[in-house]
Amino acid sequence: MQIHMDNAGGPIAMSGEFTFSDHVPFKQMVTEIFAAPGRSVVIDLSKLDFIDSAGLGMLLLARDEAKKNHRELILRRPSGQVKRMFAVTKFNTLFTVEE
């Protein structure tokens, strides 16, 4: 999994496969984005090819971290297998998901 962040406050993008073994860079990303000021955080998933149950669990942990910091986490444009996993696990009801 790759994480693309810019310093201008634009959306964060994830690409590749997001599975359990990506938890170290994901934790680092979460720490960085909630250390910076702002209201909502957008993660662009349009280039993310694959997610497993551990990846879904980590997104929920990031959502909880956002709530603690009075922020909103928005997931943008999941597609393919990721969109299907969101549907199977009813993730659309747990997050703001932008198509």
Q: Tell me which residues touch another protein (CB under 8 A).
A: 17, 19-21, 23-24, 26-27, 30, 50, 52-54, 56-58, 60-62, 65, 80-81, 84-85, 88-90, 93-94
DSSP helix, strand, coil percent of the chain (3-state; round to 5): 45, 30, 25
Q: Would you say 21 or 40 has its CB closer to another protein?
A: 21
Cβ atoms within 10 Å, residue 15: 15
Shortest Å, Cβ 64 to another protein = 9
DSSP 77: -
What does the block give as tokens for 85?
Answer: 């996993």
Nearer to another protein, 10 or 28 (CB): 28
